[in-house]
Structure 1
Amino acid sequence: MTTNADEPGTRPRRRTPAGAAVLREDVTEAIRGAVFEELASVGYARMSIEGIARRAGVGKTAVYRRWRSKLHLVLDVVSAVAVMGLPTPDTGSLEGDLRLLYEVTSRALRHPVASQIIPDLQAEAARNPEIAEAMQKALRDGQEGVASSILSAAERRGEIRSGVDRELALDLISGPLYWRSVVIRTPKLPKGYLTSLTRATTEALRAL
């Protein structure tokens, strides 16, 4: 017995339109990976669709099927970093949560690829509002979401007072490590730096 797709109560099967290109996810991921490598190698200004395609082992057409320009490709990749975010620590104490956050963030910011890409994109962000917005999401919004969760947990445990100035607290948490790793780009953090930073930040938050 056959079913007529036009009969009431039946759901017609969806078909891929004739001639429509099916975008392979493995190719998309190869292109995204190539973007990070190309940014680290030549920077945004010298980066080209041709170079990305060559590094990804695909044709230029494969890139243009997914993104219409270099700018949109970079914006998509940088925005994806923000979506991934950082894991929220749950050690049971403010000091423990901060230490774990600093360890994870330090490794991420000091990764060889990230340490080359971030300063370059920051320079471009000064000239391009779209890149500036994407960079803010990638570098600040994700960090703030995690830091806010840490502060909320500390408030519930009574480790910091309720109603602290969240903006100031977030600056205290995120500022020093970002300054060291991204702005002045210290080649290597001093021994015991993360431990000292954790203790100092914990005490500062308790004093707010």
Structure 2
Amino acid sequence: MASSPDTPSAPGSSGTTGATAPRPAGGPVLQDSVTAAISQAFFEELAATGYAKLSLEAVARRAGAGKAAIYRRWPAKQEMALALISDVVARTPEPLDSGAVREDLLAFLAETAEVLRHPLASKIIPDLLAEARRTPELGEALLGAVREPRRSRAGRILDRAVERGELPADLDHGIALDLLAGPLYWHIAVVNGTAEPGYLERLADMLLAALRG
């Protein structure tokens, strides 16, 4: 007998992510619209309550779906969180390759600032960083799902600049990657700065000067 598809109890909100949960062999048909509604509800609930207090029941209610619809896709909260967050990271555009390191840095900073200013991300990111310190297992998983892919993308900007001779061949990539992310996060997430275009231009110039030594 064929398995029945998901049937949400109410129309879900339009999802902002394209997450697709894996379907076990012989398992139920997973409707993309339900997955999108759950994904949107998860991020809204995460921003509203934080990871520690987030419940699958609350996500299901917000999505207008049954709790069983979540368990058809992910076995537990951490797996759902990592899958949906990883999907967002995976869909981040590749860094600009303009042929000039300053333009690439400026585009990277603008994209990062847009993420940090997003009304959901601005609440979610600090909470996840704090939770990662309290829950080592989650922290390790987030390193692989979020930090490493983003650092790898940023690293490609540096690699290309070194190949073109715009940055020194002995560049310390670890410190350079910390330098790319740290000042902007501090400015937006900690001191609540605006990071207007003029600020990003000045920051790009100072970063470039520091990277060149």
> Fold match, TM over 0.5?
yes
The structure with the largest alpha-carbon Rg is 1
Please give the alpha-carbon distance, in whole angstroms, between the structure 2 residues aligned to 1:123 and 1:70. Answer: 17
Which of structure 1's runs of 4+ aligned residues deviate more than 3 A?
Answer: none
Residue from 31, 37, 49 that aligns with 1:30: 37
2:194 to 188, 193, 199: 188
Deviations 1:23-57 (A, max 9, x none): 22221121111100111112222221111111111
- 2-structure distance, mates of 1:71, 1:146: 25
> CA RMSD, aligned part only?
1.9
Task: Give the distance between the partners of 2:85 and 2:140, measured in 1 at CA.
Answer: 10
Aligned AA (1:206): R
Q: Which residue of 2 aligns with 1:93?
A: 100
Shift of 1:94: 0.9
Q: What is the aligned counterpart of 1:21 among 15, 19, 28?
A: 28
Contact 1:75 1:130 in 2 (8 A): no
> Secondary structure at the residue paired with 2:73?
coil
SS of the residue corresponding to residue 113 of structure 2 reads helix
- AA of the residue aligned to 1:116: K
Change over 3 Å in CA distance of 1:78–1:171 after alignment to 2: same
Matched, 1:168 2:175: yes
TM-score when scaled to structure 1?
A: 0.82
Change (3 A) 1:108 1:138: farther
CA distance in 2, matches of 1:187, 1:134: 30
The 2-side partners of 1:136 and 1:115 are apart by 19
Match 1:67 to one of 57, 61, 74: 74
Tell me whether 154-163 or 91-100 shows the greater mean CA deviation.
154-163
Return the offset for 1:139. 4.6
Partner in structure 2 of residue 200 of structure 1: 206
One of 70, 83, 94 as aligned partner of 1:76 = 83
Paired residue type of 1:105: T
1:83 Cα deviation after fit:
2.3
Structural mapping, 1:41-56, within 5 Å: 41-56=48-63
Question: Contact 2:168–2:212 (CA<8 Å) still a contact in 1?
Answer: yes
CA displacement at 1:176 relative to structure 2: 0.9
Aligned to 1:12: none
Deviation at 1:187, TM superposition (A): 4.5
Unmatched segments (≥5 aa) in structure 2: 1-24
SS of residue in 2 equivalent to 1:45: coil
Q: Which runs of 5+ in 1 are unaligned?
A: 1-15
* Aligned twin of 1:133: 140
State whether structure 2 residue 156 is matched by structure 1 residue 149.
yes
1:203 alignment partner AA:
A
Q: Partners in 1 of 2:170 and 2:104 — Cα distance?
A: 19
